């Protein structure tokens, strides 16, 4: 991969400074990026998908520029309590109790669902996908260090981070721009939290109640780690004490990311992350899409059209295009009309790309493809501005149609440059797929079955009936029926 990053300089909006800043990685040519992953206690909704898609697109662009990116996205499979504070039941344990299954069955089911959905949207897998339960030892070690450094205390088998003490030497609230004094007044004193010295302290380790099924031994009690700790443990382990980019949804800025900063500083005496990036919310009916309020739509419902908010099914490519038409830092309103418009735009872009192979070339170009290409880079360099990039791709669509209508000319060299650039940005950087991943999968299946039908015909022609029967029966065993008719053999699946 050419080192394009030497010619293209990126600016990233850093939530910490509230400004766009020139991006300089800690190690030249390498980028370490950590993104908070899902809590795997239910199916991901389209809002979750949007946040992960924003970072998938950022990952894709960084790779395209030639950076060697280590992208770590965790799976939260323990420690995330019902209401984000230190109270209530563990979300996964609760689901396991309600369904009378093992917590790890809950984790497995929804991790598989998460991967399936992300595959349909053509996500690239992260470099490492660590789990909270796989890093309990690392979390216990962090707590020991935080206690040794004087920033945490133990009460009745639980360990809490001492926010006020930390704030005397460090700045708690610098990411979310909250003042620790205001936090004292705004934090409710909750039942069962009387162990804490101060209400704004947060749990690093919780002693498990007898009925709590997810528990591990520790120096303090049989218990489980606080939710914020896992991300500090896993990001430090795989990216080091100081790394380039940390991302997540806007709603994680406080308390989750604020607490991550405090934990890391309490351990390592340095700020852990250079660029904090926060993706904005997908909303529906004017409210944040969220599982807890019932105001959500599942990706599967988009693919089937089976939801009252939409009038038809949409492919994963169209849904991805719809989401990337908004900048990751803008709120995006989910509407059927928006999706319909995106479908039209998406098809226009795909048609134009298909037309590229049939364009006639000329001695000279009446269009400037080199400038246009740089405009595509400029859009992505400016804090990953995908809507501006898409507007530029439509500039190219206009040019392609003009050339088709003999209203513009293009040289062979420029046509090659246009083809490579539009393909790169559409498929590699934006990660769009023509048709849905399902459709693509079906296409491959039918190609493979057609081949088997042909082999069966050849076997029959050679009077090798053992082989022809074997092909028919083995296909039937995996749910594919061959139907012999007078016009040849077709197949159906059940």
Q: Contact residues for ligand AMP (CB under 6 A)?
A: 36, 38-39, 47-48, 50-51, 248-249, 251-252, 281-282, 288-290
281 binds, among Zn ion, ligand AMP, none (CB under 5 to 8 A by kind): ligand AMP
Nearest partner of 206 among 152, 164, 252, judged by Cα: 152
With CB under 5 to 8 Å by kind, the binding choice for 159 among ligand AMP, Zn ion, none is none
Q: Minimum distance between the CB of residue 79 and Zn ion, rounded to whole angstroms?
A: 10
Looking at the Cβ atoms of 242 and 329, the one nearer to ligand AMP is 329
Tokens describing residue 243: 């790394």
Nearer to ligand AMP, 149 or 335 (CB): 335
Give residue for tokens 């303090």.
220
Q: What does 231 bind: Zn ion, ligand AMP, none (CB cut-off 5 to 8 Å by kind)?
A: Zn ion
Residue 50 interface partner, choices Zn ion, ligand AMP, none, CB cut-off 5-8 Å depending on type: ligand AMP
What is the nearest approach in angstroms of Zn ion to the Cβ of residue 239? 13
Identity of the residue, 180 or 290, whose beta carbon is nearer to ligand AMP in the bound complex: 290
Least distance in angstroms from the C-beta of 54 to Zn ion = 15
Contact yes or no for 33/245 (Cβ under 8 A)? yes
Q: At closest approach, how far in Å is the CB of 356 from ligand AMP?
A: 34
End-to-end CA distance of the chain: 44
In whole angstroms, the minimum distance from the beta carbon of 246 to ligand AMP comes to: 11
Nearest approach, Cβ of 39 to ligand AMP (angstroms)?
4
| Residues 354, 346, 249, 438, CA torsion sign | negative
Q: Between 39 and 274, name the residue whose CB sits nearer to ligand AMP.
A: 39
Residue 289 C-beta: closest distance to ligand AMP, Å: 4
Q: What residues contact residue 426 under an 8 Å CB cut-off, 6+ apart?
A: 349, 353, 393, 432
Burial class (CB in 10 A: 0-12, 13-18, 19+), 344: exposed
Residue 30, both tokens: 């390498």
Minimal CB distance residue for ligand AMP: 249
**Closer residue to ligand AMP (CB): 40 or 397:** 40
Query: Which of Zn ion, ligand AMP, none does 47 bind, CB closer than 5 to 8 A by kind?
Result: ligand AMP
Q: Residue 15 or residue 48: which is nearer to ligand AMP going by CB? A: 48
Q: Read out DSSP for 149-181?
A: TTSEEEETTEEEE-HHHHHHHS-TTTTTT--HH
Strands (E), 5-106: 11-14, 19-22, 30-35, 68-73
Q: What sign does the CA torsion over 138, 144, 148, 154 have?
A: positive
Q: Which element (helix H / strand E) includes 221?
A: none
Contact 334, 284 (CB under 8 A): yes
Write down the least CB distance from residue 74 to ligand AMP, Å.
10
Return the DSSP state at 435: S
- Tell me the two tokens of residue 322: 């719809």
- Whole-number Å distance between alpha carbons of 51 and 477: 41
Question: Which partner from the list Zn ion, ligand AMP, none does 38 bind, CB cut-off 5 to 8 Å by kind?
Answer: ligand AMP
Residues that bind Zn ion (CB under 5 A): 36, 231
Residue 115, contacted partner among Zn ion, ligand AMP, none, CB below 5-8 A by kind: none
CB of 234 to Zn ion, least distance (A): 8
Q: Which is nearer to Zn ion, 230 or 414 (CB)?
A: 230
The CA-atom distances, in angstroms, between 152 and each of 55, 187, 295 are 33, 19, 38
For residue 385, the cross-strand partners are none
251 contact, one of Zn ion, ligand AMP, none, CB 5-8 Å limit per kind: ligand AMP
- Taking CB atoms within 8 Å and a gap of at least 24, the contacts of 91-95 are 91/39, 91/41, 92/39, 92/40, 92/41, 92/214, 93/212, 93/213, 93/214, 94/41, 95/41, 95/42
Shorter beta-carbon distance to ligand AMP: residue 33 or 281: 281
- Pick the closer one to Zn ion by CB: 37 or 317: 37
The reply to whether omega before 244 is within 30° of 0 (cis) is no
Contact of residue 130 among Zn ion, ligand AMP, none (CB under 5-8 Å per partner type): none
């Amino acid at each position: 991969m050419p080192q394009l990053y030497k010619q293209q300089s990126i600016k990233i909006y850093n939530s910490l400074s509230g400004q766009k800043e020139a991006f300089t990685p800690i190690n030249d040519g390498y980028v370490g990026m950590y993104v908070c992953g899902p809590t795997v206690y239910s199916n991901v909704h389209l809002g979750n998908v949007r946040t992960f898609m924003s970072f998938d697109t950022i990952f894709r662009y960084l790779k395209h520029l030639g950076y060697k990116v280590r992208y770590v996205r965790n799976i939260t499979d323990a420690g995330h309590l019902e209401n984000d504070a230190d109270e209530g039941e563990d979300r996964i344990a609760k689901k396991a109790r309600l369904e009378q299954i093992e917590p790890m069955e809950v984790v497995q089911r929804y991790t598989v669902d998460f991967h399936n959905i992300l595959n349909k949207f053509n996500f690239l897998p992260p470099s490492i996908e660590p789990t909270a339960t796989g890093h309990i030892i690392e979390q216990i070690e962090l707590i020991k260090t935080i206690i040794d450094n004087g920033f945490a205390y133990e009460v009745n088998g639980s360990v809490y981070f001492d926010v006020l003490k930390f704030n005397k030497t460090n700045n708690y609230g610098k990411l979310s721009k909250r003042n620790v004094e205001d936090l004292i007044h705004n934090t409710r004193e909750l039942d069962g939290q009387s162990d804490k010295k101060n209400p704004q302290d947060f749990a690093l380790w919780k002693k498990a109640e007898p009925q709590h099924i997810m528990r591990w031994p520790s120096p303090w009690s049989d218990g489980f780690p606080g939710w914020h700790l896992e991300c500090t443990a896993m990001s430090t382990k795989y990216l080091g004490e100081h790394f380039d980019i940390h991302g997540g949804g806007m709603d994680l800025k406080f308390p989750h990311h604020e607490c991550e900063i405090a934990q890391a500083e309490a351990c390592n005496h340095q700020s852990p992350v250079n660029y904090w990036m926060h993706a904005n919310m997908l909303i529906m009916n004017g409210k944040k899409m969220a599982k807890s309020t019932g105001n959500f739509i599942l990706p599967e419902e988009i693919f089937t059209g089976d939801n009252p908010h939409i009038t038809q099914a949409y492919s994963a490519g169209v849904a991805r295009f719809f989401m990337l038409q908004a900048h990751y830092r803008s709120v995006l309103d989910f509407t059927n009309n928006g999706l319909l418009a995106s479908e039209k735009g998406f098809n226009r872009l795909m048609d134009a790309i298909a037309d590229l192979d049939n364009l006639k070339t000329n001695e000279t170009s009446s269009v400037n493809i080199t400038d246009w290409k740089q405009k595509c880079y400029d859009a992505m360099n400016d804090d990953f501005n995908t809507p501006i990039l898409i507007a530029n791709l439509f500039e190219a669509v206009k040019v392609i149609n003009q050339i088709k209508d003999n209203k513009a000319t293009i040289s062979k060299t420029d046509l090659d440059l246009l083809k490579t650039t539009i393909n790169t940005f559409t498929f590699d950087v934006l990660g769009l797929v023509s048709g849905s991943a399902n459709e693509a999968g079906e296409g491959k299946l039918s190609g493979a079955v057609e081949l088997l039908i042909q082999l069966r015909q050849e076997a029959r022609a050679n009077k090798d009936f053992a082989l022809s029967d074997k092909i028919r029966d083995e296909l039937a065993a995996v749910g594919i029926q061959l139907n012999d008719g007078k016009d040849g053999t077709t197949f159906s699946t059940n």
